[in-house]
Amino acid sequence: MPHRYHPWGRYPRWPQAAVRLNWRDSALPCLSDPTRNYLPFGNGRSYGDSCLTPGGVLLDARGLDRFMAFDPATGILRCEAGVLLSEILAQVVPRGWFLPVVPGTQFVTVGGAIANDIHGKNHHRAGTFGCHVRCFEILRSDGQRLRCSPAANPEWFRATIGGLGLTGVILWAEIALKRISNAATTVEVIRFPALAKFFELSAESDRDFEYTVAWIDCMAPGNQRGRGLFMRANHAPAGGCLSPKAKKHRVSIPVDLPVAVINRWSARVFDSLHYHQKLNSRGAAVVHYEPFFFPLDGIGYWNRLYGRRGFFQYQCVVRHTEEGRTAIEDILQCAAGGQSDSFFGVLKVFGNRPSPGRLSFPRPGITLALDFLNRGKPTLDFLERLDQIVAAAGGAVNPSKDARMSAASFKRFYPNWEILENLRDPRFSSGLWQRVTQE
């Protein structure tokens, strides 16, 4: 199997055929076999089976990699859907512009960012990526081309944003960028001893800081559970003296390791060192945007550290209520128990700006993301238990990072899923969609 067509969590591992799309004006190739499913593929940074189609053919959109138009006065960018966010940033940051929303890696395509309606550390201000998409064009398997915006084909616009690649291939998109003065960010890192303090810091910081996020130490002993590092940042004002260049990848994991080298003990040492090191670095620092926004991009293919069996990323959102906070505490308590392998979590409070996407995961509330080593059935059973906690708190689990959610849970989290099913291209499907709609 070509390496490129794995999901980032390395699970599931299906043989996967693919054809590459290179021209936005061409018809979709190879749709002649009516028995096979198809699915657009971006850069495989989705963690699970939402970016695979078992027994089907991936339509690899990375070849749609052209910039089409940019207005340096308004920051409106039009580009093909296979362009990476890293490629956009490399072009626009030196011209004083930045993407309105970025995820924790810059190696995702514009098409993938729209299809999963990604969120970033500024959700409390900017909402999702989809909030900044002005229009795009999709190509359906019957050859139909639909130009979509809030005014033109609005239902298709709303179903495609967060539509998990199922409504058609996004060929190009127009995005509204945001002004910045330079490539620097001013970042503060604050240690907090417990979850209650996280919520205080978040409420206080969301007023003055564009970017806020926390890392939770899942290995902390019981009396320190919920401790972590709170990061808050803004783009630096004009006049900074930071070099516009960031350091490139320092290390890369060259091959899949046969077994996971991440385990509770190595992670405990790492986390503890990291936590205490940050104690000495309080106060604001001026850093290049790359290490702040994309810390894990500094280790190429870090997902291989989890070994051949791969891992799951579990991301949920619950309402920002007492009940929701208790659910987050319960999940962290489960994650700290002997049956799981989660070393640190990412915690953030989402804001109220609604996404145009019909099925988008981000919504007002508290979101927590945790990585779990895949140990087979015990891990699957454990994650199912977490789903029950989230469901009881009226929350939802992120399908774009999922590889095992049951149909019952999905339909509970996304009761309006049939809106997407009705607009889905009949030739398009994914592992995720088959699992959560056909069981």
Ligand X SMILES: Cc1cc2nc3c(=O)[nH]c(=O)nc-3n(C[C@H](O)[C@H](O)[C@H](O)COP(=O)(O)OP(=O)(O)OC[C@H]3O[C@@H](n4cnc5c(N)ncnc54)[C@H](O)[C@@H]3O)c2cc1C
Q: Which residues of the chain form contacts with ligand X (CB under 6 A)?
A: 8, 39-46, 50-51, 61, 81, 103-105, 108-109, 111-113, 115-116, 118-120, 164-165, 169-170, 296, 400, 430
CB of 351 to ligand X, least distance (A): 14
**Paired sense of beta strands 57-60 and 17-20, if any:** parallel
Residues 156 and 356: beta-carbon distance below 8 Å: no
**Which DSSP string do the residues of 225-265 spell out, in sequence order?**
TT-EEEEEEEEPPTT----SPPP---EE--S--SS----HH
CB of 241 to ligand X, least distance (A): 29
List helix spans (H) across 361-416: 377-392, 407-413
Q: What are phi and psi of 232, to 5 degrees?
A: -135, 145
CB of 72 to ligand X, least distance (A): 26
Of 46 and 182, CB closest to ligand X: 46
**Paired sense of beta strands 38-41 and 57-60, if any:** parallel
CB of 328 to ligand X, least distance (A): 18
Residues 6+ apart with CB under 8 A from 5: 16, 18, 41, 44, 52, 58, 60
**Tokens read off for 246:** 């960031």
Closest CA to 266 of 191, 152, 344: 344
Per DSSP (E only), the strands in 267-310 are: 284-288, 299-300
**Which DSSP string do the residues of 189-220 spell out, in sequence order?**
EEEESSHHHHHHHHHHHHHH-SEEEEEEETTS
CB of 189 to ligand X, least distance (A): 18
Of 60 and 271, CB closest to ligand X: 60
Using the structure block, give the residue that is written with the tokens 């398009």.
428
Q: Which residues pair with 175 in a beta bridge?
A: 77, 133
Of 105 and 409, CB closest to ligand X: 105
The region, left, alpha or beta by phi > 0 then psi within -120 to 50, assigned to residue 274 is alpha
> What is the 3-class SS of 311-372, one letter each residue?
EEEEEEEECCCHHHHHHHHHHHHHHHCCCCCCCEEEEEEECCCCCCCCCCCCCCEEEEEEEE
Of 169 and 220, CB closest to ligand X: 169
Using the structure block, give the residue that is written with the tokens 């970016």.
51
CB of 166 to ligand X, least distance (A): 7
Of 164 and 397, CB closest to ligand X: 164
Of 63 and 193, CB closest to ligand X: 63
Residues 279 and 356: beta-carbon distance below 8 Å: no
CB of 190 to ligand X, least distance (A): 20
Of 83 and 390, CB closest to ligand X: 83
CB of 130 to ligand X, least distance (A): 11
Amino acid at 360: S
CB of 129 to ligand X, least distance (A): 8
Residues 65 and 83: beta-carbon distance below 8 Å: yes
Of 81 and 383, CB closest to ligand X: 81
CB of 58 to ligand X, least distance (A): 8
Of 161 and 332, CB closest to ligand X: 161
Residues 39 and 428: beta-carbon distance below 8 Å: yes
Of 84 and 225, CB closest to ligand X: 84
Helix (H, G, I), strand (E, B) or coil at 16: coil
Tell me which H or E stretch contains 58: strand 57-60
Amino acid at 390: V
Of 26 and 74, CB closest to ligand X: 26
CB of 64 to ligand X, least distance (A): 7
Of 125 and 193, CB closest to ligand X: 125
Q: How many residues does the chain have?
A: 439
CB of 91 to ligand X, least distance (A): 18
